[in-house]
Amino acid sequence: MVQLQEAATLDYRSETYRDAYSRINAIVIEGELEANHNYLALATMLPEGAADLNKLARMESKHMKGFEACAQNLEVTPDKDFAVKFFTPLRENFEAAQKSGDLITCLVIQSLLIECFAIAAYNVYIPVADDFARKVTEGVVKDEYLHLNYGETWLRGHFEDPSVKEQIGVANAANLPLIWQMFKQVEADAGTLGMDPEAVLEDFMIAYSEALENVGFTNREVMRLAAQGLRSL
Ligand code: PL3
Ligand code: FE2
Ligand code: FE2
């Protein structure tokens, strides 16, 4: 059971808060850094989208700098080792897909799964963040919707190709369980920061199912994709 802190009782300077922040903030910084790498990789895989994708990559490194400033503001040292380990399974899947030229899987991992994770976490964090971090996060989350939209739009544009639809399903089954495992690892720390982990999960599922519907899946197919993620846990 996660102990949820009331926003009104949060002490941003306390050891407890700053200890949890050292991991959550590191995850966010590492996530933004890897997102930068992933969009640079996507730009090489998708030459006609290179200009746009390079722009998204630049936005991600700006996000990273913003969150680094949040840590400095609270005098927290981000736990980089923890964050690198946290992303390893997902990063390895992205890199394997990149090596084999599997553009669909790369888009599903970065532009659907990671962006939906970020959108859910940032929206739940904003109302309980310190003033400095709230302003940073509000600016960032607006960009993340654009990133999600990039993935949705590309996949929708190729959805009539049956191999695309099938590959989205394969990528979903292999990577959605990893997102679940990632949630589990940080729910206690998120609770210490006043974030409701259940709300993050719900917001994630809402954003991800909406994305799949926008891509072209029927409601029943979306439910099946969501359940597939759970089955392989
Ligand atoms: C790409 O633009 C953003 C990549 C960052 C993704 C990281 C999001 C993570 C957040 C950690 C928050 C945890 C809350 C989970 C509670 C169950
Ligand atoms: Fe970002
Ligand atoms: Fe992003």
In this predicted model, what pLDDT tens digit does every residue of 67-125 receive, in sequence order? Answer: 999 999 999 999 999 999 999 999 999 999 999 999 999 999 999 999 999 999 999 99
Tokens matching residue 10: 């949060």
Instruction: Check if 26 has its Cβ closer than 6 Å to any atom of ligand 1.
Output: no
Ligand 1: centre distance to CA 183 (Å): 9
Phi/psi for 14 (5° steps) reads -70, 155
For residue 215 and ligand 1, the question of a CB distance below 6 A is answered with: no
HSE of 45, CA atoms in CB hemisphere, 13 A: 19
Q: What is the pLDDT of residue 229?
A: 72
User: Which ligand lies nearest the alpha carbon of 148?
Assistant: 3
What's residue 66's pLDDT?
98
Distance 162 CA to ligand 1 centre (A): 31
Rounded-to-10 torsion of CA 39, 41, 43, 47: -160
The DSSP output letter for 6 is P
- Average pLDDT of the chain to the nearest whole number: 96
Q: What is the pLDDT of residue 177?
A: 95
Which residue ranges of the chain lie beneath pLDDT 70?
1-3, 6-8, 231-233
- What global pTM score does this model have? 0.96
Residues 137, 138, 141, 146: is their CA dihedral positive or negative?
Answer: negative
